[in-house]
A and B are shown apart, each in its own frame.
Chain A
Amino acid sequence: YALQGSRWRVKNLTYKVSKYPKRLKRVDVDAEIGRAFAVWSEDTDLTFTKKTTGPVHIEIKFVESEHGDGDAFDGQGGTLAHAFFPVFGGDAHFDDAELWTIGSPRGTNLFQVAAHEFGHSLGLSHSDQSSALMAPFYRGFEPVFRLDDDDKAAIQSLYGKKTSQPKPSNAYPVTSTLRPSYTPPKVPLDDSICKDSKIDTLFNSAQGETYAFKGDKFYKLTTDSVEEGYPQLISKGWPGLPGNIDAAFTYKNGKTYFFKGTQYWRFQGRQMDGVYPKEISEGFTGIPDHLDAAMVWGGNGKIYFFKGSKFWRFDPAKRPPVKASYPKPISNWEGVPNNLDAALKYTNGYTYFFKGDKYYRFHDARFAVDTATPAFPRPTAHWWFGCKNTPSSTAVGDH
């Protein structure tokens, strides 16, 4: 999947159909549009409320040829509809020259096209997976609709997974531009990580918990520090896994992969998922041994490996999984240094790179290390481990 780079800051969205199609009953259109939105609320906490008047987040229109946005429709066939990404307002326009139909193999299925367009309204770009709803081509009427895993991963990367807890308000907890909300930090009981905050790897579990590995120990992180009771031994938390791990990531299949030297291990939660270790050269063809860092990048859901001054993109769905054009220089990731220790797509949507006792926040849409105050890189001890009496900035005299 691919993300455009913008998303809504609220999860409770409103819509209205301001111009209905010529050939369908309004009540039927309303039902199909409602079904199409429901596709995206099934696996997230997004809600969509229909309004008939007043301002709304997403306005829907059935129009023909030139209709005021400079992107004229072309009659039957060709372009069926288009929609604007959240940053451009989220509106969806349908070409009313099409023969829009409901539950019929004739014409063009309104539900399928609307569900696709609303994906754009929510921030998704076109996917190169032909099975995905967000693939750009209309593939004919499908009597049984099922959202592809690629689409699910895409929408959840923007709006999170569905929770069963009632939401306190309409307000989406807007992604903090600084990592944790900074209340007085708790000092980890074992503060060795504060004295030497260089870590081996960081990763999120399938449940969204963040772990830092260092030597033979691991730390479970809270939003601003280390959870009480940590560090613990890696051998206790992930039986069978050695210490001094090079890199780790959790893939969209919910499994966590750990890399060390020439070998890798796969875990489902805290249980080894088969007979491991295996050789990296066998399971990850095209990826070198002795890695520095690995992550699943939120920009496209693909796996990135880093070593020295180079990086590799790994796509398990492709043959070969690593294109011939790799490795490429890490300098392509503007502002990210060579010889990384760890890389992480954090639960707030940002990508973070760690090197030594510092970390960098990467702006996926701008393809560069973020500009903020204090500037990046920042000290990992202060911002990730909640260490007291450690500087919050790497700038000289700016503690």
Chain B
Amino acid sequence: AVQAAPVSTTTQAEMYLSQFGYLPASARNPANSGLQDKSTWLNAIQEFQNFAGLNITGELDDETLKLMSLPRCGVRDRVGTGDSRSKR
């Protein structure tokens, strides 16, 4: 069977944060697969760390990558946070 890869790179983390609603799709630039806005990226990691009860470092530390690699539900954590975030 195909095995889901653990999250170990920035690109994989970026996809993870996008998939589960922490990073709006518009933050990604398809031209270079890079992030246009550093603060959006930082905020996304911090939001994930806050939600998951991790230390809020804003960095892709081992603890954060380990949690991202856990089996989980495929439903977004942040519902309604696509490209159009709600006001609050």
Contact = CB atoms under 8 A, between A and B. Distances in A.
Contact of A82 (B3, B50, B67, B74): B74
A137 B86 CA distance: 25
A59 interface: no
A62 interface: no
Contact of B74 (A2, A75, A80, A108): A80
A77 B72 CA distance: 8
B31 interface: no
Interface in A120-147: 120, 125-126, 128, 130, 136-138
Main secondary structure of the interface of B (DSSP, over half): loop
Contact of A77 (B4, B52, B53, B79): B4
Interface string B35-56: 0000000000000001111000
A43 interface: no
A117 interface: yes
B3 A138 contact: no
A151 to B, nearest CB: 14
B1 A79 contact: no
A71 B74 contact: yes
B20 to A, nearest CB: 8
A2 B79 CA distance: 9
A125 B71 CA distance: 17
Nearest to A97: B1
Contacts of A130: 52-53
Interface string B63-86: 000010011111111011000001
B39 to A, nearest CB: 15
B73 A77 contact: no
Given A2-B79, A4-B79, A125-B79, A76 B72 contact: no
A287 interface: no
Contact of A117 (B67, B70, B73, B80): B73
Contacts of A78: 4-5, 71-72
Given A77-B71, A367-B86, A136 B77 contact: yes
Contacts of B74: 71, 73, 79-82
Contact of B1 (A76, A80, A83, A125): A76
A75 B53 contact: no
A120 to B, nearest CB: 5
Nearest to B53: A130
A309 interface: no
B75 A136 contact: yes
B86 A83 contact: no
Contact of A74 (B2, B50, B77, B86): B2
A119 B1 CA distance: 28
Nearest to A75: B2
Nearest to A120: B75
Given A125-B79, A367-B88, A138 B72 contact: yes
A76 B3 CA distance: 5
Contacts of B51: 126, 128
A137 B77 CA distance: 11
A77 B4 CA distance: 5
Interface in A325-382: 332-334, 367
17 contacts: A2-B79, A74-B2, A75-B1, A77-B71, A80-B73, A97-B1, A113-B73, A120-B75, A125-B79, A128-B51, A128-B52, A128-B53, A136-B77, A137-B71, A332-B88, A334-B87, A367-B87
Q: Which 7 A-B pairs have the closest CB atoms?
A: A78-B4, A75-B2, A82-B74, A79-B74, A77-B4, A138-B71, A74-B4
